[in-house]
C-alpha cells in the first residue's frame, strides 16, 4: 500500500478526534450540562436534525474518508481526498472563525487541528500524483 494513503487515512481521524475531544472538554465547563438538558447550548437549539448533521459531518464523514483513502484506487482516491479535504478545511475554518467571537482555548486548539489536517490531506493527495 502506498505511503501517502496511510498518511491521509490517519489524517482523516484528526478532525474526528478533535471534535470528540472538544465535546468532552465542553461538558466540563460549568453550566453546559444544564444547557444541554434544556435543549439549547450557547443560543443554539439542539434538535434531532442538528445532531444528525453533526453525526454525518463530524463523525461518519471522517471515518468513511479514512476507510476510502485506503481502498479507493488511483485518481478517484486522489480527487475524493482533494475535494472532500477542501470542503472540510473550509467548514472547519468557518467554525474556527465563529469560535473566535466567543474564544475558548481548548476549542480553538482543536479547531486549528481540524483545519490543518484536511489541508495536509489535500497536500498529500496532490503530491501523490507526482509519485504515480
How many beta carbons lie within 10 A of that of residue 1, not counting itself?
Answer: 8
Mean pLDDT of 101-119: 94
Instruction: Please count the other Cβ atoms lying within 10 Å of the Cβ belonging to residue 51.
Output: 10
Res 118 pLDDT > 60: yes
DSSP string over 66-77: HHHHHHS-HHHH
Please choose, from the candidates 88, 89, 73, 86, the residue with its C-alpha nearest in 3D space to the C-alpha of residue 132: 73
CB 40 within 8 A of CB 46: yes
**Using an 8 Å Cβ cutoff, are 126 and 79 in contact?**
no
- Return the percentage of the chain with pLDDT > 70, whole number: 97
pLDDT 10s digits, 56-76: 999 999 999 999 999 999 899
3-state secondary structure 98-123: HHCCCCCHHHHHHHHHHHHHHHHHHH
Span 107-121, average pLDDT: 96
129 — pLDDT class (breaks 50, 70, 90): confident
Is the per-residue pLDDT at 132 higher than 60? no
Domain ranges of the chain: 3-131
Which pLDDT band, with edges at 50, 70 and 90, does 131 fall under? low
pTM assigned to the model: 0.89
- State the average pLDDT over residues 29-41: 92
Q: How confident is the model at residue 120 (pLDDT cuts 50, 70, 90)?
A: very high
pLDDT, mean of residues 8-17: 96
Quick one: pLDDT at residue 1? 61
Amino acid at each position: 500500500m502506498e505511503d501517502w494513503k496511510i498518511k491521509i487515512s490517519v489524517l482523516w481521524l484528526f478532525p474526528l478526534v478533535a471534535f470528540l475531544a472538544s465535546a468532552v472538554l465542553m461538558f466540563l465547563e460549568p453550566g453546559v450540562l444544564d444547557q444541554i438538558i434544556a435543549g439549547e447550548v450557547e443560543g443554539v437549539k439542539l434538535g434531532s436534525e442538528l445532531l444528525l448533521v453533526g453525526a454525518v459531518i463530524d463523525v461518519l464523514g471522517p471515518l468513511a474518508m479514512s476507510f476510502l483513502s485506503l481502498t479507493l484506487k488511483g485518481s478517484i482516491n486522489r480527487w475524493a481526498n482533494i475535494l472532500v479535504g477542501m470542503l472540510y478545511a473550509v467548514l472547519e475554518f468557518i467554525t474556527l472563525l465563529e469560535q473566535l467571537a466567543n474564544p475558548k482555548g481548548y476549542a480553538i486548539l482543536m479547531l486549528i487541528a481540524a483545519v490543518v489536517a484536511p489541508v495536509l490531506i489535500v497536500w498529500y493527495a496532490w503530491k501523490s500524483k507526482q509519485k504515480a
